[in-house]
Structure 1
Amino acid sequence: LVEFLLQRGANASYSLWAAVWRDDDDVCRALLQSKPELNLRAHGETPIFYAARLQRLATLALLIDAGADPSIPDSVGRDSVAIARERKLPEEIIERMVSLQQRKLRRRT
């Protein structure tokens, strides 16, 4: 169904939000294959921040693997790593987010 909709012009970047909300890793994986905008903000949050805030571990792992930027802050200045720590997500997930964050920051300098 995802492929059908994408072929007919559905926007994978916006659909990614629904996949995160549902914690649907199959749909998320299919959407990520179409190279959506990973850091698109809605209501001040990126998909990786949203996944961390909602504790959607399956889709969060996929977004980390896809390279979503965990350093982008929400509207009050918290980044995805901060919200993951606040929500007490598994340490392995937090470590992966920190590692990705450090790689992204090194590329910017």
Structure 2
Amino acid sequence: MPTMLDDDTLAFAHKVFNHCRNGDSAELATLLDAGLPANLLTSTGDSLLMLASYHGRVETTRLLLKHGGDPSLANDRAQTPLAGAVFKGDHAVVELLLEHGAPVDQLPPGGKTALMFAAMFNRTDLLLRLLEAGADPQLRDSEGKTALQLAQAMGAADAAAYLRSVEPRRSARG
């Protein structure tokens, strides 16, 4: 049974979540230093790190990682902070998350890898970066689709062409 929170607690939580969305790092740092858990979740499972990453807040993302924010926490929609940053096309946040150990091939149950998001939304520059970081283009989502198949389904022609071009070379090395 879920815990019911009083209005003051809900207002505080809402304020904290907005600090992450808006990049209010100074206010958030004070709270984290006072003991606020870095892996606090919204009612939909978004971690503070997910909120900051998805909204492109590089310094807030860095702050949360420094305080133990877990880059592998997926939300209730099976999305990770790395996948969220890729979806938004935020190179700086993607790089920061990779530098801090975000699992490049994380595939939450019912979700997709960051590479799959890069492929689907034709983000070839991020596709290349994820492949350089070791992403496996042969992984399949819960429906059995690879990044290439997802790119094709979404009409992401550049990503599909790139994935087709690297597929034989990766297989030959394997």
Coarse TM-score class (shorter-chain normalised): 0.7 to 0.9
Deviation at 1:12, TM superposition (A): 2.2
Q: Which amino acid aligns with 1:3?
A: R
> 2:121 touches 2:151 (CA, 8 Å); kept in 1?
no
Deviation at 1:82, TM superposition (A): 2.4
Deviates more, 1:23-32 or 1:53-62: 53-62
| 1:16 to 2:82 alignment | yes
> 1:64 touches 1:100 (CA, 8 Å); kept in 2?
no
| 1:70 to 2:137 alignment | yes
Larger relative helix fraction: 1
> 1:23 touches 1:59 (CA, 8 Å); kept in 2?
yes
State the match for 1:95 in structure 2: 165
> 1:38 touches 1:47 (CA, 8 Å); kept in 2?
yes
Bigger RCO (CA 8 Å, 6+ sep): 1
> 1:69 touches 1:101 (CA, 8 Å); kept in 2?
no
Deviation at 1:33, TM superposition (A): 0.8
| 1:36 to 2:102 alignment | yes
> 1:67 touches 1:100 (CA, 8 Å); kept in 2?
no
- Deviation string, structure 1 residues 46-99 (Cα, Å, up to 9, x no partner): 111121112222322211110111111122222112223443125345423x15
5+ long unaligned stretches in structure 2: 1-58, 73-79
Tell me how far apart the structure 1 counterparts of residues 117 and 165 of structure 2 sit (CA, whole Å). Answer: 18
Which structure has the larger Rg?
2
Tell me how far apart the structure 1 counterparts of residues 92 and 127 of structure 2 sit (CA, whole Å). Answer: 13
Change (3 A) 1:99 1:62: farther
State the match for 1:6 in structure 2: 65
> 1:52 touches 1:83 (CA, 8 Å); kept in 2?
yes
Q: What is the TM-score of this pair, normalised by structure 1? A: 0.77
Change (3 A) 1:93 1:71: closer
State the match for 1:27 in structure 2: 93
Change (3 A) 1:19 1:4: same
SS at 2:157 equivalent: coil
Q: What is the Cα-based RMSD across aligned positions, in Å?
A: 2.3
